[in-house]
Amino acid sequence: MSIPASPSRRALPAMAATLALGLGLAACGSSGSTTAPSGQAAKPVFTMVTDQTGLGDHGFNDLAKLGIDETAKALGGLAKVIQSSEQAQYVPNLQQSVSSGSTVTIGVGFLLTDSMSQVAQSNPNAKFVLIDATAVGTDKKPLTNVASINFKEQEAAFLTGIIAGLTTKTHRIGFVGGIKSGPVVRFLAGFEAGIKQVDPKTRLSTAFLGNFTDSAKAKELAKGYSDAGADIVMEVAGSGGLGVYDAAKEEGAGHWVIGTDTCKDQLAPQNFLTSATKDVAGMVAKESKAAADGTFKGGELRLGLADNAVGVCDKTFGTLPKNIQDTVTKATTAIKAGTLTVPDTEAAAAAFTAATL
């Protein structure tokens, strides 16, 4: 089976050398000149503004960076990053990108939503991309100069829930989230429903860090789940989720971790089960190219399995038992066909009962 969404093929470990070169800018730092010599067209500039998690999360920040890097390489442009360390920097960092002449400004994460809406309305001729949220105007309608990219995380997470439910030996599973927000809740709802689809007797325990950076707390929570009998933990916690991988490695064989956004098997090779993936890199690259070639449209997008925008880790899918692969394939087909709707809220997940695949 070809698993939808393949950000895992865009190997994040390969980004390490690029990131180590220090291409990212300090928050509110100089963005450099983009002025071309006389008679030459200016190079397109793709500028990404991070949330507080920043680069190195092995998730959507690193994926967005990969997206602008690929676009810049393909079009002969420049990829730049402005990292934010606190919420107060969001507006000035976004405005810095616009003022420096960026072709498009990419905001990564729902935490930038209000700031993106403000700056985009103040700069109606500038182009923006927002990941995991929708920028709206005073009329509450999506802004047309912002491509607001949202994913149906619940669909990818449903598939990982199936994998978890058919893998667990103890019938106890844990979930570590960052901030209880739209994307995180969608991951949780889909994951819970996927487990119920194949193993309704399994107990799912949940906890939230209140941020996306506290890896020590995430590790503590994961170990607590393990002490209570859980043999699988899913993380949706940004760089904070790295603590879950550390816990799994310490617990040893038979203790599994499920990741998000991209394949993260390199973080715990012997304990990685799968990931609920999102093609953040591909969508950032697509919208960045559109901004550069004049085909940018803006507005809100909600992308799922039918769009090949989400899925599970294709890198390790073939190593799963055949019965698990077959069940995931059937669920994928049903979701794409519209005969199975995956819950995207906690209430809907609580009420979910197994569907016929």
Q: Indicate the pLDDT class of residue 55, thresholds 50, 70 and 90.
A: confident
The mean per-residue pLDDT over the stretch 130-155 comes to 97
The mean per-residue pLDDT over the stretch 66-82 comes to 95
Buried b (16+ CB within 10 A) or exposed e, 154-167: bbbbbbbbbbbbbb
Averaged over 15-44, what is the pLDDT?
Answer: 42
Top pLDDT among 32 and 52 is at: 52
> What's the token pair of residue 153?
């995380």
41 — pLDDT class (breaks 50, 70, 90): low
| Mean residue pLDDT across the chain | 89
Going by C-beta distance under 8 Å and a sequence separation of 6 or more, which residues neighbour residue 256?
A: 164, 167, 231, 232, 233, 248, 271, 272, 273
Q: Which CATH number fits domain 153-277+321-351: 3.40.50.970, 3.40.50.300, 3.40.50.2300, 3.30.350.10?
A: 3.40.50.2300
Q: Tell me: the pLDDT tens digits for 174-204? A: 999 999 999 999 999 999 999 999 999 999 9
The pLDDT-based confidence of 10 (bands split at 50, 70, 90) is: very low
* Domain extent listing, the chain: 7-151+280-307, 153-277+321-351
What is the average per-residue pLDDT within 230-240? 96
pLDDT (0 to 100) of residue 54: 80
The class (CATH top level) of 7-151+280-307 is: alpha beta
Is residue 165 within 8 Å of 197, Cβ to Cβ?
A: yes
Whether 350 has a pLDDT exceeding 90, the answer reads yes
Checking if the pLDDT of 355 tops 90, the result is yes
Task: Give yes or no on whether 7-151+280-307 and 153-277+321-351 have one common fold.
Answer: yes
Question: What share of the chain has pLDDT > 70, as a percent?
Answer: 89
Using one digit for the tens of pLDDT, what is the confidence trace for 247-303?
999 999 999 999 999 999 999 999 999 999 999 999 999 999 999 999 999 999 999
